[in-house]
Structure 1
């Protein structure tokens, strides 16, 4: 009998606890506050949406991405790639269809977590910055300004870049391998292990500083231009582009294209320097011209400023924009596809918060 009383009491307590928990969750839902499990699920969905956006957008423009890197690091006395169309045809002729997508697997392995972290970090950073801005101004209805969006985007870019930089570094080396170069790296993990073993841990972060500096205007402007342009279109409704506070997919793609064009134009020289610094220490990297006009192997750089100075001295200021044309052709659809894919996937997964909120 005592046992039955204990069981009955335990069952009753469990039922009461369950009812209380359900009541608390219902109260949180009414107040607009997510339960811990819902919050975790929302974070996971946001990360998934960001990852899918990155993978889809980069795969769509993988041939142009590879050509851009080849143009950035090629030997100026042995020009193989002198234009977008010619470069793509040369890769197709010498390496076939697979050559156009060489390094894309490694690129996706890097960009999927990078994109996931970047979009999620932007949401969190923009929320935090908006909270501080409202507290400082005393205006509870204040919204993010373009400058504040730039700051949130810069924070997101720095976090995402730092978290996945070693994968970007080895992806660059894998991408520049051609049919005539020794295939030193068999894949991303082999490359990571080889670089760490032969050159040390710090080699995995070669070019990190110009990358981070480049991320500030690049990712910052991407988010700032995209969100500000969307907001302006929704509020002003020019040419009937916005209807009921919602933009069409085509209009969002145009906003993303504009954002990508502005961001990559400002940050491109830093991307060239980053890529060249990543090649330092790799014996199979492309040779370049020394001051006496002879080819003596890859240049060594003591830092970002030194890399800028030597690049301009030996190859001219235009070298800082090598590969800009295929990069421009790549960036416009890539950024546009990434933003729109992110929002579409979040809609499919049922995530309430959008990056503009």
Structure 2
């Protein structure tokens, strides 16, 4: 009898142990699912924040963005836009208010996913498993990788956006999808990536320096506490705007010639592309480029070194608030959405 009781007790203990183990496994699984759901939701919120930041910042400076592109690619033998103020007035006079925002719709359609991927890619690239502090070089690398991924994913939209922005009448393209289809059928799929190489090269100093300078300035201000700032305190929106402005100024100045070359390569095959006077001194023929180096060489030869900085003034006026607004909007939207992950983390 005692033996039977012992066996029964052992069976009961085993059953209880099995039930407990099963319950613990179910609990662990449930917590894992909840953690995964929270992580996925955080990623979605981070992407939304990046997209909103890009859309808001670009819309705020859309007139200057369009003028910059027009200055970069206008025919040197038929100058319509001569400076920032004159250029904006000319657009207003000839095309009205809508002309100032021509191409902004497609730009937002491009920049929202671009900015979302860029900000999220940066956070993933800069995520350090041992929580060691990122130095400026690592930040530059993380920012550059994020920029290349985001730019490559949305490049065809940027290419046709440039074409739509440049056309000043109801001519060739009726919208983004019509432009994509027209370029694809008339010039081939490779045409959608014209100017991709200088864009990639330009991403390294531009996006990389944006993130590196912005984060490094924030860290320096928090740790050194100049101008009465208290260490380890949250920086104000005004201070973050100043950091973003400085980051944008450094990045765009270094990378600007590559942006000009990219835009000019995108215009090859376009009926309004810049022309050059041929050997007889009378006729004009559209410029053709065999590659990035050839585009640099022909631009400098026919228009001088200064042509590599055409549109720099409106771009400088544009980039400073654009980058600043993008960074601050990104962090504000993440605060509103309750995302724990931050760039500085």
Using the size of structure 2 for normalisation, the TM-score is 0.90
How far does residue 298 in structure 1 lie from its aligned partner after superposition? 2.0
How far does residue 141 in structure 1 lie from its aligned partner after superposition? 5.6
Equivalent residue, structure 2, for 1:6: none
Equivalent residues in 2 for 1:1-357 (5 A)? 21-22=26-27, 35-127=35-127, 130-131=128-129, 140=130, 142-179=132-169, 183-242=171-230, 244-290=232-278, 293-357=281-345
* Mapped contact 1:287–1:295 kept (Cα < 8 A): no
How far does residue 293 in structure 1 lie from its aligned partner after superposition? 4.3
- Structure 1 residues 258 and 18, CA gap change in structure 2 (3 angstroms): farther
Equivalent residue, structure 2, for 1:12: none
CA distance in structure 1 between the partners assigned to 2:152 and 2:285 by the alignment: 29
Number of matched pairs = 328
- Between 1:342-351 and 1:278-287, the stretch displaced more is 278-287
CA-to-aligned-CA distance 1:22-74 (integer Å, 9 cap, x gap): 55565x79xxxx71111111110010000000000000000000000000011
* Mapped contact 2:223–2:231 kept (Cα < 8 A): no
CA distance in structure 2 between the partners assigned to 1:291 and 1:40 by the alignment: 62
CA distance in structure 2 between the partners assigned to 1:165 and 1:239 by the alignment: 42
**Structure 1 unaligned regions, length at least 5:** 1-15, 132-139
**Structure 2 unaligned regions, length at least 5:** 1-20
- Structure 1 residues 18 and 298, CA gap change in structure 2 (3 angstroms): farther
* Mapped contact 1:49–1:342 kept (Cα < 8 A): yes
CA distance in structure 1 between the partners assigned to 2:283 and 2:203 by the alignment: 32
What is the DSSP-based 3-state SS (H/G/I as helix, E as strand, rest coil) of the residue aligned with 2:82? coil
- Structure 1 residues 86 and 316, CA gap change in structure 2 (3 angstroms): same
* Mapped contact 2:159–2:192 kept (Cα < 8 A): yes
CA distance in structure 1 between the partners assigned to 2:181 and 2:23 by the alignment: 51
CA distance in structure 2 between the partners assigned to 1:51 and 1:242 by the alignment: 32
CA-to-aligned-CA distance 1:217-270 (integer Å, 9 cap, x gap): 000000000000000000011002456421000000000000000000000000
Q: State which structure, 1 or 2, has the greater radius of gyration over its C-alpha atoms.
A: 2
